[in-house]
A and B are shown apart, each in its own frame.
Chain A
Amino acid sequence: MITVTHVTKRFGDFVALDDVSLEVPDGSLTALLGPSGSGKSTLLRIIGGLETADAGTVTIHGEDVTNVTPQKRGIGFVFQHYAAFKHMSVRDNVGFGLKIRKVPKAQIAARVDELLSIVGLAGLADRYPNQLSGGQRQRMALARALAVEPKVLLLDEPFGALDAKVRAELREWLRRLHEEVHVTTLLVTHDQEEAMSIADNIAVMDNARIMQVGNPRELYDRPANPFVMGFLGPVAQLDGTLVRPHDIAIRAEPEEGGREAQVRRVSHLGFEVRVELVLAEGEPVFAQLTRTEAEELDLSPGDIVWLRTAGGTALAA
């Protein structure tokens, strides 16, 4: 388990972290999710020892590591741009941590081969990083970090430099790897889809603070504030309340408690249908229907309909 207590960090006048506390459960795959500048990378680097906090403590597996160098924290770190050792082969990259610990050559070779087959790079051991694709380099970086059997694995936007398809593949692959290897993993990302699809536990950050911590479902269904709600999914505003567009029910007949609106545009996005409407006062709203619902209603621009929220999340705007 990783415990962060009351950590604050400033860069000059800029406050990167403001009294942040967090618990990362043992064996979990936790995501630090937030927009650029929210402090998530800084928090990760402080946990890893690559930055020092101005205040607060960090504990890993019960040991206070606040003032311990990164060398001795027993962490594995993966960087967004791979941080490959360009002048070394894949084999030497992956075996680097073991070589530093003076592990015998034969053992290093065996472990490297084992790791390379786990990450799917077997046979590429004698290549150099510049001969690998981005996705392969990142897998090498993971193998390298895992070679020294870290207590904790820290990943700083690991898929940020890859293109969309590779990113999706690698993301799924990471989840499977985690299930196989079971190391406590902390992943920084700005991509809510990434966090939602592979993390057990998500800490949402904004503006140097943690907004909410929970599993994907909790965060989506019960967001603590408008920021979290907006960051994790689409939001529409109706009657001063923030709701999910798919929780807006559209009726062709007037309804008790419903609001009158006019259809502006109907976009068919495959399975979903997006309906843009304007309320009586000129306020725009948009709702999301399934294909079936849309077929039943058969809406066209100019139609007058009535809107109501049908359960689900609702937050004061």
Chain B
Amino acid sequence: MRIALRTAALAYLGALVLVPLGMILYRTFENGFVAFYEQVTTPAALAAVSLSLTIVAIVVPLNVIFGVVTALALARGNFPGRGILQAVVDLPFAVSPVIVGVALILFWGNDGWLGGALPVIFSLPGMVLATIFVTLPFVVREVEPVLAEVGTDAEEAAATLGASKWQTFWRITLPAIKVGLAYGVVLTVARSLGEFGALTVVAGGVAGESQTLTLLVHARYIDDHNVFGAYAASTLLMGLALLTLVLMTTLQRKRA
């Protein structure tokens, strides 16, 4: 009976995840490594990598700063509306990426609430805003429970010993949330690299300019009919996803 269950589970996982992934890897490398390498070093591909990483480089620090501030306010505060704030932090999980794109256009776009004060469509700020939207919950949700558990005793002790609020935060609070914060950052990076739906709506997808890796994959398959190129770019993204998984697992052990 146990064997039957195990086989069923593994068969499901195989058919759904493992075999398809294996197929892509096979197809990517069946013509040798050089073919793969050429596909991921075309000017368009390099520009896409650069753009994806640029977005990550902007999104992560912003999420760390604002995420930790928000987590502090939620974990340690007792103010009216705390429940609402908490719910808003979780909202991005329930919103379809396409709706995120629509929302950004309607708020930041030329006909939107801010009357186009900030260029959003077809530009880096727009892609950054979309990515921040979808990654906003990660740092907050990872840091908040740690703050709540660690409590304020050590921080009060530091205050009695003469440490200013900033010194206390830097020397006492931050080290305590290190691992949770790192885990939140890893999730943020993975999600940023994988964002597609919102970017489709908000970015122009012009090769070499406003195309991230994910948009590149799509464009190659649909527009260029460059199936092999699409596979190659996908494999690159898969490699990054795998790295993320490894980091997630390592940090999870540290947390326990």
| Pick from A72, A82, A96: contact of B158, CB under 8 Å | A96
7 additional contacts (CB under 8 A) given A85-B154, A96-B161, A97-B161: A70-B160, A77-B156, A81-B153, A83-B156, A96-B158, A145-B160, A148-B161
Contact B160–A50 (Cβ < 8 Å): yes
CB distance from B133 to the nearest CB of A (A): 33
Q: Across the interface, do A71 and B159 meet the contact criterion of CB distance under 8 Å?
A: yes
Across the interface, do B163 and A100 meet the contact criterion of CB distance under 8 Å? Answer: yes
- Number of B interface residues, CB 8 Å? 16
- Given known contacts A79-B153, A83-B153, A86-B176, is B162 in contact with A50 (CB within 8 Å)? no
Residues of chain A lying within 8 A (CB to CB) of residue B80: none
Chain B hits for A48, CB < 8 A: 160
The answer for the CA separation of A76 and B162 in the assembled complex, in Å, is 10
Contact for B159 among A50, A76, A141, A148, CB less than 8 A: A50
Query: B164 at interface (Cβ–Cβ under 8 A)?
Result: yes
Is B250 an interface residue when CB atoms closer than 8 A count as contact? Answer: no
Q: Is the CB of A144 within 8 A of B153?
A: no
Contact B156 A148 (CB under 8 A): no
Query: A77-B156, A81-B153, A83-B154 given as contacts; is B162 within 8 A of A97 (CB)?
Result: yes
B interface with A by C-beta (< 8 Å): 153-154, 156-164, 167, 171-172, 175-176
Closest to A82 in B: B153
Q: Mark A22-61, 1 if CB is under 8 A from B, else 0.
A: 0000000000000000000000000011100000000000
> What is the number of residues of chain A that contact chain B, defined by CB distance less than 8 Å?
27
Contacts of A79 in B (CB 8 A): 153, 156-157
Tell me if A84 counts as interface (CB < 8 A to partner B): yes
Shortest Cβ gap from B34 to chain A (Å): 48
CA distance A265 to B189 in the complex (A): 75
C-beta contact mask, A66-95 vs B, less than 8 Å → 1, else 0?
A: 000111110111010111111100000000
Closest CB in chain B relative to A88 CB, distance in Å: 8
A165 proximal to B (CB < 8 A)? no
Interchain residue pairs with CB less than 8 A apart (19): A69-B159, A71-B159, A71-B163, A75-B160, A76-B160, A77-B156, A79-B153, A81-B153, A83-B153, A83-B154, A83-B157, A85-B158, A86-B154, A86-B176, A96-B161, A141-B157, A144-B157, A145-B160, A148-B161
**Is the pair B176, A77 in contact by a Cβ cutoff of 8 Å?**
no
A101 touches B162 (CB 8 A): yes
Taken together as a complex, chains A and B put the C-alpha atoms of A72 and B163 apart, in Å, by 9
Residues of B within 8 A of A71 (CB): 159-160, 162-164
Interface of B is mostly: helix
- Chain A residues lying within 8 Å of B163, measured Cβ to Cβ, are 71, 96, 100
A113 to B158, CA, bound (A): 20
Neighbour of A100 across the interface among B154, B161, B176, CB < 8 A: B161
**B164 / chain A contacts, CB cutoff of 8 Å:** 71
- Which of B153, B154, B160, B163 has the most C-beta atoms of chain A within 10 angstroms of its own C-beta? B160
Whose C-beta in chain B lies nearest to the C-beta of A97?
B161
Indicate which residue in B160, B167, B171, B175 contacts A77 across the interface (CB closer than 8 Å): B160
Q: In the complex, A86→B158 CA distance in Å? A: 12
- In the docked arrangement, what's the CA distance between A161 and B158, Å? 21
What's the Cα separation between A54 and B32 when bound, in Å?
76
Give the Cβ gap from A317 to chain B, nearest Cβ, in Å.
Answer: 42
* In the complex with contacts A96-B161, A148-B162, A50-B167 CB distance below 8 A: no
Bound CA–CA A317/B153 (angstroms): 42
**For window 120-145 of chain A, which residues contact chain B by CB distance below 8 Å?**
141, 144-145
> With the chains together, A155 CA to B249 CA distance in Å?
42
Within 8 A of B (CB), among A154-198: none
Q: Which residues of B contact A85 (CB under 8 A)?
A: 154, 157-158, 172
Tell me whether B167 and A100 are in contact (CB under 8 A): yes
Give every chain A residue within 8 A of B156 (Cβ-Cβ): 50, 70, 77, 79, 83
- Binary flags per residue of A285-306, CB closer than 8 Å to B gives 1, else 0: 0000000000000000000000
Roughly how many angstroms separate A197 CA and B163 CA in the complex, as a whole number?
A: 35
Are A70 and B159 in contact (CB-based, < 8 A)?
yes
Q: How far is the CB of B12 from chain A (nearest CB, A)?
A: 42
User: What 6 A-B pairs come out closest when comparing CB atoms?
Assistant: A97-B161, A83-B153, A83-B157, A77-B160, A87-B175, A70-B159
* Closest CB in chain A relative to B76 CB, distance in Å: 14
Closest-CB distance, A265 to chain B (whole angstroms):
47
Cα of A118 to Cα of B79 in the assembled complex, Å: 45
Q: Within 8 Å CB of B176, what residues of A? A: 86-87
Are B154 and A84 in contact, CB atoms less than 8 angstroms apart? yes
Whole-angstrom distance between the alpha carbons of A79 and B157 in the complex? 8
B162 near A77: Cβ-Cβ < 8 Å: no
Nearest Cβ in chain A — how far from B20, in angstroms?
43
Complex Cα distance A85/B162, Å?
Answer: 15
A87 to B160, CA, bound (A): 19
Within 8 A of B (CB), among A213-254: none
Contacts of B159 in A (CB 8 A): 49-50, 69-71
Instruction: Give the residue name and chain of the B residue nearest to A48 (CB).
Output: B160
Q: How far is the CA of A79 from the CA of B160 in the complex (A)?
A: 11
A74's nearest neighbour on chain B, judged by CB, is B162
**Residues of A with C-beta under 8 A to B172:** 85
